[in-house]
Structure 1
Amino acid sequence: MFLPPGFLDELRTRVSLSAVVGRKVTWDMRKSNMAKGDWWAPCPFHQEKSASFHVDDRKGFYYCFGCHAKGDALTFVKETENLPFIEAVAVLAAEAGMPMPERDPRAAEKADRRSDLARVMEEAVKWFRLQLKTAAAAEARAYLTRRRLSDAAQDRWEIGWAPDSRHALKDMLAAKGIAPDLMVDSGLVARADDGALYDRFRGRIIFPIRDARGRAISLGGRSLDPNARAKYLNGPETELFDKGRNLFNIGPAREAAGKGKPLVVAEGYMDVIALVEAGFTAAVAPLGTAVTEDQLRLMWRVSDEPVIALDGDAAGLRAGLRVVDLALPLLEAGKGLRFALLPGGMDPDDLIKAEGAPAMQKVLDEAQPMVRLLWQRETEGRVFDSPERKAALDKTLRAALKRIADPSIRAHYGEEIKQLRWDLFGTNRRPATQPRAPFGGQSGGPGFRKGRFVPPPAPPLATTRASLLAAGHMPEDTLREAVILAALIRFPALVPRFETSLERLDLSSEDHTRLRNLLLTHAQDSECRARIETDSPQALDRLLAHPHVRIAPPMLPRADEEFAAACVEVDLAALEANRAHRAELIEAEEDMDGLADEGTTFRLSRATAARQSAARGAPKEQKGEAVIAPNGVELDREELDRARRLHDQIDFTRGGRSRS
């Protein structure tokens, strides 16, 4: 059977050598480095105990340092299963999901034609290179000099010049005996409606496009005319060139990535050239189109985690988001993407010329995982100030996660998004006692469970206990908030010390939120209290008029700044303990849907102990519906009763006896 050209290359691209070999060997995980595609095992071709058989997954070759066996995936299948070559191809093709080509007596003729087209392309590359040295190319040479491309760099990249003539290239090819149909089929010459032939590339700087084997398969041209219809022009798709299945500079980039260089994906030719010349030698670019699925798989063949370098403008971000949508269904364990957003509307070429290679390295080092770009797309510039808007976000994210086929990756994405949701909707950080679980997992807290959304803990609804406010009582958290705010208004110099904790406080009233924001705004102002009195006098009066606030330790005449700081620190810690305790109660209630375990009991007991410690002692005095702690602070009677009931239920589900 005659295999069409490119079939075996495609087969090797689709099949992982380590997966093929892994069916026959046991990997030495102490010696192997999966992240780099570097695998070691005892050789399957001769008896040995040491791991001398090496698989380079990126290059697609294996070698045994003992018996010197070597080859690729096809060779391995052929040798280990004692198959003829064509049957080994069939085995791997079935694994890769590629249909075997039918017997075609004209296939050999087609292969010869592809060879002829490749020869035409090489003749054109050489001729364009010569044209760059002529007087007619002075403007092109000046442009390349302005782009800081030395003569040596121009030679390395085989950059040329297409004269502004309709027939110069056609006449040269005809003089070499190349038939008109080959000129047209190569994409170098176009045919007009009247049948006349003309050069496709005119008045353009020429960049040869080579495949992974180093063959010239097409050209890219950059116009110097500002009025040109297209600044960049690629050759059309031909028997040699499929723009959606190739990448600019793929051959050298694959070699550099095999030596440990990160694969950087830029937007255009000049970006790739600038990156390579600056030392980022594993750089590639798509060929005039958005990244395709085939190109993405080709990138992952070269590197497990390519870095997509996005131009720092809206168009660059949109391009990155298209890649996210493309990649989500294709994600596999160990195969991901990172995104590096360049500053100030720059592209890699601009940044390297302006600030040098270290600046570009810094951008690459700060590249973000794909989940962060997905989150940014759904949240940036939007306001989530209503349950409906939050639910719309959850629906969009849930739909995105469903597109991930790998369940493990989907779970980890959900976990990361759940943390980001806590940061956005919660107290800006996850409570220390709240376990992280996949978005849509089975742990407590906000997320999606059994197809329904479980919202984050909401503040308790107002009840008859709200009348305690009129009687001079406040719920514990509200009172602590009031004392903290009053102390900081009295001693505004303390605000910078507690600024972070103050910013992430989820306050229980509009008055407290307004006063907190004014404190953060005017803390550095010598007239801080006067400004607060001017901006929100009623809220300040209500705060300072409360009897518990007036007698709070930091408000006493003898209290100084350091004493007030200690009081604020204690109250902030107590607030965190109280709110963590409530989160644990809600999670424990949800866990009662199944059988509670030792972990549930442990979390509840630890959270309760932390809260009691924060209250400086166990409750000892009851007054109506309120439970008063030794420090005079009201505790939530209903909450304490609920904790006792949960402990009883846990004892029951574990076979214990309920405390009735």
Structure 2
Amino acid sequence: MKYPKSYLEEIKQRLKVSDIVGSKVKLKKRGKEFIGLSPFKNEKTPSFTVNDEKEFYHCFSSGEHGNIFDFIIKTENLGFGEAVKLLAKKAGLKEFLFSKQDIIFEDKKKKIQEIFKIYFEHCNLLLKTKYAGTHYKYLIDRGIKKETLNLFKLGYSENNLDIFNKLKANNFTENEILDTGLFLKKPNDDKVITRFYNRIIFPIKNYYNEYIGCGGRAIDKKTFAKYINTPETAFYKKGENLYNYNISRKYFEKYNSIFLVEGYMDVINFYDKGVANVAGILGTAITIPQIKLAWKNYKNIIVCFDGDKSGYLASYRAAEKIFINAVPGKDSFIIILKDNLDPDDFINKYKLDGLKELLRTKRKVSDFIFNYFLQEINSKDPNDLAFFEKKLMSLCDEILDKDLKKFYRSYFKNKIFNDVIRNQKNKSASQKLINTSIKLSLPESEIRELSFLNILINYPEFSERKIEEISNIQFINDYLNEFIRDFIDLLSSNKIDSKQTFLSSLKLNNSSVIEKIVNNSTNNILTTKLNEDEFNQIFLEEINKISKLKLKLKLKTIENKLIDSMDNETLEDLRKAKKHNIS
């Protein structure tokens, strides 16, 4: 039984060749490489080189060449399995145990890889031959080099089952083929159809350079969706992968930063124009696993989404998620593209020099968030300043790293004073602002819940389709539970003619709550021009944040109770609460 490729790659990723070789050979840095005397042959002049970026060593005097496993096998006189165990221990990985379940999974994974390889080679050949004068030409005319198209293995999928039948002829079962997500059965019908018919195919590989799925771009503008992706399978988790990271992760020593863009064509055009350190999040909503994956190899993340309003909002949501999950020693930035362009169009229009110029305007995620909140307030109004500070402090409280949480609270307080308050011309007014900003009135939970309601009341037509979910929400602040009942009643009983008439009706019995929502929400910029998909995304995010706050408050209540009474029942409550990862 072979070790999984992902396991071996993880060991190689955690251990530098120079560290392993350096334990036996005295190495000296020379440019991007290390040199030393050969461990395989007696010599006086160094002919032995090590390259961490390419993950190999080479001995010019003996011809020996290999990776860390080869080096340990040859210098320690071990078998491959023994070398893997030794290096896994050094890398801090558990020994891989070949259970029956592992063997079944790896066998299935191997077959899936073979199916993907045959499918993508078939589609690639179609694109370069049968559709060379149309779809292939379309890609070339967009300014993409042939070498780039070959590297990314772009292809074309026809509306037939030729490749499906070819796979079956290669002794793959129907279920094995369906497990890839490349094909599906019609509802209420056993007939198999191809998922990506009449689409440009973008193969997706994971961190370990294994095929896991693909995306498809429609050629016909009348097609229902411009892009579709492989559904999530046992092998493909969209939110845990970055498009092109299998290639871009290798450039971490050359570049400190990685660009995170949204789509396939953004990535391909960036790479084509000389930006190898780029990866795609395969959508507009970045995930925590994707953030951690990007930081795994790179010191800095540069978010580069579309330059329109939707892209700006997506950039803020990404900034907030990155900020909360920040770790010491890593950094993150936002760049906003001009002329409402997406990254694909921008790099085509302004080329690499234009991107380098744009990078001068990049903003740290923390400063981007600061300015995002600042634009919602009147910086001369003491109450606005107080709420502005409260919003920033609430966000800081969500930072997972305790040290960063402490330092960012101080950073924002100083920035408010230096960038906003000190800039006020009237010194007496400034003093008033300073005094007022200290008196922060609303707790974090209330601001979060008011912000959530701000989204609901400004999009009644979307909220109407969420009535069942909204009715199950129990707010931390009781007065908001009364308000939400009125809100649901109004949604259920009236036809929504317009947002204005709906809000007017809602204000009749809830004017004070509405006023509180308007004055204290952290997301007033989101109250116009969201489409339903964006609304649904924010809805889920806010529900999750409120749930986390409830758990946090529950734990605090239990811990306070323990101070008064250390009884078994309370200790059990605390154990259960901490099991939900709240601390």
Distance 2:128 2:407 in 1: 56
State the match for 2:102 in structure 1: 107
Flag the 1:365–1:236 CA change in 2: closer, same or farther, 3 A. same
What SS is found at the alignment partner of 1:154? helix
Distance 2:131 2:278 in 1: 32
171, 175, 182: which one aligns with 1:181: 175
Q: Deviations over 1:399-454 (max 9, x none)?
A: 22223344554454345423431244323299xxxxxxxxxxxxx99989xxx964
State the match for 1:294 in structure 2: 289
State the match for 1:305 in structure 2: 300
Code of the residue aligned with 2:295 in structure 1: it is W
Code of the residue aligned with 2:384 in structure 1: it is R
Distance 1:59 1:329 in 2: 34
Flag the 1:215–1:339 CA change in 2: closer, same or farther, 3 A. same
199, 213, 217: which one aligns with 2:194: 199
1:125 partnered with 2:117:
no
Q: Deviations over 1:92-127 (max 9, x none)?
A: 78x67xx77765224223212211111111111111
Contact kept, 8 Å, 1:31 with 1:39, in 2: the verdict is yes
Between structure 1 and structure 2, the one with the greater Rg is 1
Report how many aligned residue pairs link the two structures.
Answer: 422
Code of the residue aligned with 1:206 in structure 2: it is I
- TM-score when normalising by structure 2: 0.60
- TM-score when normalising by structure 1: 0.54
Flag the 1:327–1:142 CA change in 2: closer, same or farther, 3 A. same
Distance 2:285 2:420 in 1: 35
Flag the 1:153–1:71 CA change in 2: closer, same or farther, 3 A. closer
What SS is found at the alignment partner of 1:265? strand
Code of the residue aligned with 1:291 in structure 2: it is I
Distance 2:437 2:67 in 1: 53
Q: Deviations over 1:195-229 (max 9, x none)?
A: 22111110101112123343333221100222322
The equivalences for 1:469-618 within 5 A come to: none
Flag the 1:205–1:413 CA change in 2: closer, same or farther, 3 A. same
Distance 1:145 1:59 in 2: 30
The equivalences for 1:284-433 within 5 A come to: 284-288=279-283, 290-428=285-423
Structure 1 portions without partners, runs of 5+? 41-52, 431-443, 457-660
The equivalences for 1:437-456 within 5 A come to: 454=438
135, 157, 166: which one aligns with 1:172: 166
Q: Which has the higher helix share?
A: 2
What SS is found at the alignment partner of 1:334? coil
Flag the 1:128–1:84 CA change in 2: closer, same or farther, 3 A. closer
Code of the residue aligned with 1:160 in structure 2: it is G
Identity of counterpart residues, as a percentage? 24
* Pairwise CA distance, 1:139: 3.9
Q: Deviations over 1:222-264 (max 9, x none)?
A: 0022232221112123343232222211122122333337422
Distance 2:12 2:145 in 1: 37
Distance 2:55 2:415 in 1: 39
* Pairwise CA distance, 1:292: 1.9
Distance 1:429 1:326 in 2: 32
* Pairwise CA distance, 1:161: 0.9
Flag the 1:105–1:447 CA change in 2: closer, same or farther, 3 A. farther
1:6 partnered with 2:1:
no
231, 234, 257: which one aligns with 1:236: 231
What SS is found at the alignment partner of 1:6? helix
Structure 2 portions without partners, runs of 5+? 36-47, 426-430, 441-583
Q: Deviations over 1:541-574 (max 9, x none)?
A: xxxxxxxxxxxxxxxxxxxxxxxxxxxxxxxxxx
Flag the 1:329–1:368 CA change in 2: closer, same or farther, 3 A. same
Contact kept, 8 Å, 2:377 with 2:384, in 1: the verdict is no
What SS is found at the alignment partner of 2:295? helix
Flag the 1:333–1:71 CA change in 2: closer, same or farther, 3 A. farther
Contact kept, 8 Å, 1:234 with 1:288, in 2: the verdict is no
Flag the 1:58–1:243 CA change in 2: closer, same or farther, 3 A. farther
Distance 2:410 2:341 in 1: 33
Contact kept, 8 Å, 2:207 with 2:245, in 1: the verdict is yes
Contact kept, 8 Å, 1:16 with 1:57, in 2: the verdict is no
State the match for 1:489 in structure 2: none
